[in-house]
Amino acid sequence: MLKGICILPVIPMRQSQSDKSEMINQVLFGESFKILEKTKKWTFIELDHDNYKGWIDNKQYQELEDDNSNVRISNKKSCIIKINKIKQPLLLGSLIPVNKQIRTKISLEEELSFCEMFPFETWFMKICKKYLNTPYLWGGRSPLGIDCSGYTQMVYRFFNKQLPRDSHEQEKKGKEILYLKQSKMGDLVFFKNNNRINHVGIILKNNRIIHASGKVRIDMLDEKGILNIDSKIYTHQLNSIKRLI
């Protein structure tokens, strides 16, 4: 099966074959995918990392024959690489191919080094906070704009845990934690509206939660749900807690 790789900093994945169609997801630099269908302008793809499907513009990727499973994750909030000798930003969480054939094919130039993310507790907080104040964007997965499940998926990526794209699918994973007092930093917490999972965040220490709601922010959490620290109003109703790390 023919494959492809994203060669721009971030590209939209759309519901249908139109620039006006809803953006349902984003593809970051270095993420590869299966090409399921190709038309004159659009390509229907399935992402390798989470099997999410949607349409992308033919002009925004490079076809691929080599295996792209060997990658490095960029844990820098901002840095620069060159593609075809043109500088472009590399966004937090992007994948850098290690395969020499792929690097040559996409004309990648970089000499980046990244910090070892140890100890876990220190680096988990650092990664979570690197996204603080990122504006909420439906379908977003980057520090320029992100949604709630995109945020949790990206944070977990750094710690070798691949989550599904959507919150209701993420909620099916992991070990259930029955009581909030038994939770620990890094647990995922899910919220519901009209009996449907519609929000997810990450539990921090001291009864706090970091989540994407308007922006990536830190609020208070109790058995009822999320208490917005600015408005002092409960914004989300607690449904469940899951442990994956």
Count of domains forming the chain: 2
- Give pLDDT tens digits for 108-121: 999 999 988 889 98
User: Are residues 238 and 137 part of one domain?
Assistant: yes
- The low-confidence residues of the chain, meaning pLDDT below 70, are none
- Considering just the CA atoms, what is the radius of gyration of the chain in Å? 18
Q: Which domain does 130 fall in, by range?
A: 120-243
Query: Residue 226: inside a domain, yes or no?
Result: yes
Q: Distance between terminal CA atoms of the chain? A: 33
User: Are residues 148 and 182 part of one domain?
Assistant: yes
Query: Residue 114: inside a domain, yes or no?
Result: no
pLDDT at 1: 84
Query: Residue 115: inside a domain, yes or no?
Result: no
pLDDT at 37: 98
Query: Residue 235: inside a domain, yes or no?
Result: yes
- What's the CATH number where 73 sits? 2.30.30.40
Annotated catalytic residues are: 148, 199, 211
User: Are residues 190 and 83 part of one domain?
Assistant: no
Q: Which of 109, 121, 136 is nearest to 201 (CA)?
A: 136
User: Are residues 201 and 171 part of one domain?
Assistant: yes
pLDDT at 16: 98
pLDDT at 14: 98
pLDDT at 172: 97
pLDDT at 52: 98
Query: Residue 55: inside a domain, yes or no?
Result: yes
